[in-house]
Structure 1
Amino acid sequence: MASRGVVGLFLLSALPLLCLELRRGIPSLGIKDLILLSGRIFLLLALLTLVISVTTSWFNSLKPSQGHLKEGEKENEKRRRLVRERQQEAQGEKASRYIENVLKPQQEMKLKKLEERFYQMTGETWKLTAGHRLLEVPDLPEEPSETAEEVVTVALRCPNGRVLRRRFFKSWNSQVLLDWMMKVGYHKSLYRLSNSFPRRALEVEGGSSLEDIGITVDTVLNVEEKEQSSQ
């Protein structure tokens, strides 16, 4: 398409030259002159055609073919996609390592500190010691009703200021008091029960009932932390 336009352009540019030659040769224009003029014109056209053909071929050789261009674009797009995928994988691995090595330990440490602070404020520090778990605390018997006979109410004054109350049968084993103390969060290895007045440690024996250890009326007991020497 471009070569045809160039040929037409050269023909148009050669047309004035042809008219000039014809005007000059009209007075004495013979057959020989016509033949020479036609030869010049054809020679000029041949030269122009040759120049145009060579030039067009040279330009076409400089341009990459459409097929190679598309293949090159596809290959470049494929390489860019692979690079993006590798970058995303690297970022994902980096984020996973950061979560596993930094964020997760920080969160665990924060939870541990909050748990320690909570137990310290509530006086339930025994939960932080090894070997003492709530699963070790036996279940308490069902609390007697208010109208039941031979029942005594025990008030438990905790180190954090809480006062808990519960009813017990006088005939129950005195060990139930230690079970109750552990149930509310104070392990017997770290805490003990004591009478309010006179203030002395409550002697809880395995085979003794509440009545046997002197709890025959409503009583207030204190939860006290054991001294270092008594542990």
Structure 2
Amino acid sequence: MKKKTHSEKVIEGKSAVVEKKAEENDKREESGKCQVSMDHEGWFRDFLLLGGRFLLLLAFLSLVISFITPRINFLSPNVSNPSTEVLEDEKEKQTRARKQQQEKHLEKTTAYLENVLKPRQESQIRKKEEHFYRMTGETWKLTEGFQLGEGEDSEDDDDLETTEETPSKKALRKRKLPENILKRPHVPELSKPKKVIVLPEEPKDATDGAVTVALRCPSGRLFRRRFLTSHSTQILLDWMRKVGYPPEIYVVCTSYPRRPLEIKEEFTLENAGITVDTVLNLEEKEI
């Protein structure tokens, strides 16, 4: 075997030292990792324990509160919650206001029934009864009636004793007859015969002095007719009445200038200015 030189021995010693240091470092790293993992596990375990204790404390407090609260309420019954008192007061106010509104509505309905509906129904029934009795000829039932011998005068007793009257004459004198029997029947006056409106015949177009007059009504209708300029203006009023527009309500006006036409019996159409074909307007009189 070959003997190792001094340099080789030194190298082997150094390599052995390096290997030992590497192993020591590896061991330290492994021990550090184990320590870190153990620290993490301990922290998590502590957190779980703390949370469990907190929950247990909350459960204990809730149990104590639920056990003590009824005892306190039982021992102090006079102490009440102000919020519940306010709610009860509001409910009472609402019920009171609702009752007042209902009473007002009831009063209004009863007043409406007594003052409006009931008189209306009574008047309708009365009208139906009057119509029925008139149709059947029993109108005497609509009167209030009277008593025989009503309104007798006791002052004339002495005079009646002296006079010689039969009982039938006395009863006839004392009897009070209805006024409608004593009164004479009203005879209506004969109405006056209506005036028959007769317009003269229309002249032909070729006739001298013939003009066409157009009458424009408020409804929009237009009437045309031929007259002679020698005719009286009164004929226009007759024409108005015949077409359904009485002169008592309507007045004849010229187209331009717009003014009422002067109508008199002695005035002719020529005097009124109607010498050519003319359009006249009908307007209501101002009351």
TM over 0.5: no
Q: If the length of structure 1 is used for normalisation, what is the TM-score?
A: 0.41
Q: If the length of structure 2 is used for normalisation, what is the TM-score?
A: 0.33
